[in-house]
Amino acid sequence: MTSTPIPHIESLANPTLAAALQTRIDQKTKPLGALGQLETLMLRLGLILGTEAPALQEPQMMVFAGDHGLAARGVSAYPSDVTWQMVENFLAGGAAVSVLARQHGLALTVVDAGVRHDFAPRAGLEIAKIGAGTADALEGPAMSAAECSAAIESGRRLLRERPGNTVLLGEMGIGNTSSAALLLARLTGQDIRACVGRGTGLDDAQLQRKTEILAQVLDRHPEAQAPLEALAAFGGFEIAMMVGTVLQAALEKRVIVVDGFIASSAVLVASQLQPAVLERCVFAHRSHEPGHRLMLQALQAEALLDLGLRLGEGSGAALAWPLLQSACRILAEMASFASAGVSEKSE
Amino acid sequence: MTSTPIPHIESLANPTLAAALQTRIDQKTKPLGALGQLETLMLRLGLILGTEAPALQEPQMMVFAGDHGLAARGVSAYPSDVTWQMVENFLAGGAAVSVLARQHGLALTVVDAGVRHDFAPRAGLEIAKIGAGTADALEGPAMSAAECSAAIESGRRLLRERPGNTVLLGEMGIGNTSSAALLLARLTGQDIRACVGRGTGLDDAQLQRKTEILAQVLDRHPEAQAPLEALAAFGGFEIAMMVGTVLQAALEKRVIVVDGFIASSAVLVASQLQPAVLERCVFAHRSHEPGHRLMLQALQAEALLDLGLRLGEGSGAALAWPLLQSACRILAEMASFASAGVSEKSE
């Protein structure tokens, strides 16, 4: 498969900076480790941004939307039209992610990566359509190798065009828990039955049917073993475009705030191409979708929130956002034992 | 024991309002239940504030501080002086809760409920000292019945004097995980060994010693079975004062955002006096302290965050605060299927 070469993404390993950050954290007026995962987050943000005083600037919430040929097989509880209708809802300010982006001052961009609908151009919308929905993965690959490359390239470009040092990833696409489950199964060797979930709300019989269809899709593409081949075989356009955004953001050493199951599937693909991508990621929440737990395990990642969310859109990333800001503020503003005149632990 | 009578706190049960809120939540443009715990939170905030459009006003972060006679027995890794030093740090703006309160625009009040130190009066500090630290609970009750009543009464008064419809509870007191563990053990019948934790950072031998001391304290007070008797026997002043604040806030139908293990122990006492208190509480985070899991189970409560925090101060409550705001904003601002023209689930 041809694809635009991604420069090698280097590890952020920096023992000197890591030690300086850890010392700074440990000297804060609190018992050692008492801020739990927030301390891990401080260390990570410091290493990504290459400073003892990380500050998050001009955060970009990017929501990638695409349609899925497989949706016609009945793998989702909602009709495909909901994809474009929700894009309109994002842009009109009425969706969960719109409300949360407003609450937290996140710049919201909705990306048409391949929705089966023609949108009128407007502010906040990037029309970067690769096609009018992917093909049916049960009949052939969801997209061609060329489409997959084009999607990745567009994802890179869209990120390059945006300011700031932080990107939050969300998505919308009726049928895309199927793509995520297929990528998880193929790229980590998990049994598809453990990777499939109810998505937007399937009942037991529908879940059974989804599982059977996805098992057939896997059987249909025995050759799609490598990350980009699997991505092309299983889709979707929005996931492929997120792969490009993740790679470019990692290359530019931006903080990547990963939403739920679908956004994580893009990180899974990207990290198999360039493992150091993972050092740039903050996983916002653990989805209610059962495959997400397996995916986070495969990525050796721990999520910040565990609120039983299963909405996507970037809603989990937006909800976790204040925790990232808190980590930076605590690092910058909290007193040390010495500066505050507080006694240290008795020995 | 004599104590100021608390008027009966009524249940918020309101099937009509609950149904209206649930309908409103279900009509939002998202799959049913897809916002997980945030939906439970929307329902709770609506019921507490008695409206389909809850709005949180003038949130008050109250941090109650007190010293503990038992601390001299070596139940904490830090010396008692850290209590007053941290009060100074809160007021100077350098503690975690100071930083987080600033970040989120929470009015911060530090309450001297019984610190062994004389503070200079200043803005943001309420000197409501019941005594210069509690007595050693291994020798007698931590406080007298009269002191316990006075602390509860002060807690009620301090809440009454504050504006707004939401209070966030935090605390500081070297030795107070011991009081919380004792209250948990006595009031729920748990084995003290399951209730004790490392607090600010005890090693294995120190933890063993703390457990032995707390078992002796329990044996020393076989008569302290009822909530207020247990509270007086085991302390501390800051916990007793929080009990008063919780009761008054519940009476006034304010939202009570409960920090970690110690703040929850005050809710445990208050809820055994007036069970409907629990309907007003939002549990912000599950502490790393092992007893907190048992306490939340006893209160049939689920916490919003689980970040491995074990700091107290109200830091967990402050970190969870944006989630409460998100719940209100989503309820107010998110579109419905009808208003946004989005198709509903296929049948």
CB-CB: which of A29, A95, A306 is closest to B89? A29
pLDDT of residue B228 exceeding 80, the answer is: yes
Mean pLDDT score across all residues of chain B: 96
**Contact (CB<8Å) A335/B92:** yes
Residue A2: its pLDDT value, please? Answer: 46
- The tokens describing A162, both together, are 């945006």
In the predicted structure, residue B3 carries a pLDDT above the cut 80: no
Contact at CB, A96 and B306, closer than 8 angstroms: no
Q: How confident is the model at residue B255 (pLDDT cuts 50, 70, 90)?
A: very high
CA B10 vs. chain centroid, Å, equals 20
- Structure confidence at residue B344 (pLDDT): 84
Query: How many whole angstroms separate alpha carbon A261 and alpha carbon A155?
Result: 19
- Which residue on chain B is closest to A347 by alpha carbon? B77
How far is Cα A285 from Cα A271, in angstroms, rounded to an integer?
19
Residue B29: closest CA among chain A residues belongs to which residue? A95
Confidence label for B346 from pLDDT (cuts 50, 70 and 90): low
Find the mean pLDDT for residues A1-22.
87
| The pLDDT value given to residue B1 | 42
Percent of residues, chain B, with pLDDT higher than 90: 95
The rounded Cα A149 to chain-centroid distance in angstroms is: 19
- Predicted pLDDT at B4: 62
> Residue B231 has what pLDDT?
98
pLDDT for A177-212, tens place per residue? 999 999 999 999 999 999 999 998 999 999 999 999
Burial of B23 (0-12, 13-18, 19+ CB in 10 A): exposed
Nearest to A342 among B89, B335, B342 (CB): B89
pLDDT at site B347: 54
Amino acid of residue B34 = A
| Residue of B161, B313, B333, B344 marked catalytic | B313
Band (pLDDT 50/70/90 cuts) for residue A6 is confident
**Per-chain mean pLDDT for chain A:** 96
pLDDT at site B20: 98
**B93: distance to nearest CA of chain A, Å?**
8
- Average pLDDT in the A40-46 region? 98
* Closest CB to A99 among B307, B333, B345: B333
Average pLDDT over residues A8-30: 97
User: pLDDT per residue over B11-58, tens digit each?
Assistant: 999 999 999 999 999 999 999 999 999 999 999 999 999 999 999 999
Record: contact B335-A95, CB cut-off 8 A: yes
Residue B65 has pLDDT above 80, yes or no: yes
Decide if A38 and B334 are in contact by the 8 Å CB cutoff: no
Average pLDDT of A223-229?
98
What DSSP state is assigned to residue A334? P
| Count of other CB atoms within 10 angstroms of residue A204 | 8
B203-218 mean pLDDT: 96
H or E element at residue B167: strand B166-172
Q: Are B264 and B283 in contact (CB under 8 A)?
A: yes
- Mean pLDDT, residues B286-310 taken together: 96
Burial readout B82-106 (b: 16 or more C-beta within 10 A, e: otherwise): bbbbbbbbbbebbbbbbbbbebbeb
pLDDT of A96-147, one tens digit each? 999 999 999 999 999 999 999 999 999 999 999 999 999 999 999 999 999 9
| Bigger pLDDT: A299 vs B5 | A299
B315:A35 CB<8 A: yes
Which of B29, B86, B339 faces A86 most closely, judged by CB atoms? Answer: B29
pLDDT of A347 higher than 70 = no
* CA B27 – CA B337 distance, rounded (Å): 6
Which residues have CB under 8 Å from B270's CB, separation 6+?
A: B243, B246, B247, B250, B277
Interface test with B, best of A99, A207, A328, A339 (most B CBs within 10 A): A99
- pLDDT at residue A4 greater than cutoff 70: no
Measured torsion, CA atoms of residues A206, A209, A215, A219, in degrees rounded to the nearest 10: -140
Mutate to test the interface with B, among A304, A334, A336 (most CBs of B within 10 A): A334
Residue B212 has pLDDT above 60, yes or no: yes
Please compute the mean of the pLDDT values over residues A222-251 and round it to a whole number. 98
pLDDT value at residue B108: 98
Omega before B94 within 30 of 0, i.e. cis:
no
Q: Calculate mean pLDDT across residues A243-248.
A: 98
Q: Which of A40, A10, A6, A47 is closest to A25 using CA atoms?
A: A40
- What pLDDT, on the 0 to 100 scale, is given for residue B2? 45
Q: Report pTM.
A: 0.97
A333 catalytically annotated: no
Joined tokens for residue A137: 């993965």
The CA distance from A75 to A173, in Å, is 12
The residue of chain A nearest to residue B336, with distances taken between CA atoms, is A94
Q: Quick one: pLDDT at residue A345? A: 79
Contact yes or no for A33 and B201 at CB 8 A: yes
